[in-house]
Amino acid sequence: MTTLPVPDAPAGVRPRRISRKPTGGDAVFAHTFRAIGASVLVITGGIGVFLAYQSWPTFRHYGFSFLTETQWQPEADVLGIAAVLVGTLSVALVAMSFAFPLSLATALYISEYAPDRWKATLVSLVDLMAAVPSIVYGLWGFFLIQPHASGFAHVLHQHLGWIPIFSVGTDADAAVPDASRYTASAFVAGIAVAMMVLPMACAVMRQVFSQTPAGEKEAALALGATKWGMIRTVVLPFGKGGIIGGTMLGLGRALGETIAVLLIISPEFVIKPRILEIGTDTVSALIAGQFGEANGIQLSALLTAGFVLFLITLVVNTLAAIVVNRSRSGAETS
């Protein structure tokens, strides 16, 4: 193969240097959004610094036993968040056990099964769930879900009570079961929170599923795969990062939910992995319930609890963002 000679540049003429620096409207756009992004980081960092500063009196007074103490008794100068941390995780995990399959099934249906004329409506309906105030979900959970969930919890206790998380401190086979033992629990609160995190997780999963290359899907179908076979071998592997990221973002939301949990649960400061039994508490519900009458060291302790929750949700959401940004799994679809 022959190569054509490159003509020499005329004397005195230099190649023009290409500049990547934005100009005009591009510069305004770039600087504006750079400032917005920086302001978000400054605000988030400022919140973290403020909470960390306010937490110093608590750690100076109680030490790190504040993180291991279960009781919250300001009158006895005994404060700790070990029990509410366990309660926070219990409610969040119950919520995700309901929200994850519902979010995944909804996202798959909208992206792969729903007729084109319905997709926009279905997307709008799911997104509207995120606009419903949390207090509405709390009232819905308290008045509508709790009576039915309590009965279901009793059934779970009867048949799965040998598993510690489904155990309740009452006789499941009594002639007249104590229905009050199955109300105001992490299980009931988790169901309400699940409906609140579903739109966020579903939106992330649906967005990633919609980016699956059409060529790979058509190739799978051309080779004789069924609709579900194509989804299992192409769509799900491609959207693995979106599934994980959406689930973790939903978990971050579930960890910090406040009003809905506060309306449903019965506060109890005991480390209790039994999700069906009455009594639990979360960090956010503790802050909302105690903040109005707190002062002095108790107020500092509530801010410290908020700082711990801030760090937990920050880590969870950061990991979720990293996973979503790396959610391209085309290698597994070949």
Q: Is 141 helix (H, G, I), strand (E, B) or coil?
A: helix
Q: How far apart are CA 190 and CA 194, in angstroms?
A: 6
**pLDDT for 67-111, tens place per residue?**
999 999 888 889 999 999 999 999 999 999 999 999 999 999 999
Domain count along the chain: 1
Q: How far apart are CA 303 and CA 115, in angstroms?
A: 49
Tell me the CA end-to-end span of the chain in Å, nearest whole number: 35
The residue with tokens 């990547």 is 20
Residue 333: predicted pLDDT: 41
**pLDDT for 204-231, tens place per residue?**
899 889 888 989 999 999 988 889 999 9
111 part of a folded domain: yes
Residue 170: predicted pLDDT: 81
Q: Which residues pair with 73 in a beta bridge?
A: 78
Q: How far apart are CA 69 and CA 191, in angstroms?
A: 28
Is a pLDDT exceeding 70 seen at residue 7?
no
- The CA–CA distances, whole Å, from 253 to 148, 179, 195 equal 25, 30, 11
178 part of a folded domain: yes
| Structural domain range at position 209 | 58-333
Q: How far apart are CA 103 and CA 203, in angstroms?
A: 8
18 part of a folded domain: no
Nearest to 312 by CA among 256, 246, 242: 256
**pLDDT for 281-311, tens place per residue?**
999 999 998 888 878 889 999 999 999 999 9
Is a pLDDT exceeding 60 seen at residue 15?
yes
12 part of a folded domain: no
295 part of a folded domain: yes
Residue 195: predicted pLDDT: 93
Nearest to 236 by CA among 139, 112, 117: 112
CATH number for the domain that contains residue 144: 1.10.3720.10
pLDDT band, very low/low/confident/very high, at 319 (cuts 50, 70, 90): confident
Residue 265's Cβ-side half-sphere holds a number of Cα atoms within 13 Å equal to 35
8 part of a folded domain: no
Q: Which of residues 247 and 172 earns the better pLDDT score?
A: 247
Nearest to 241 by CA among 197, 216, 204: 204
Integer Rg of the chain from CA? 26
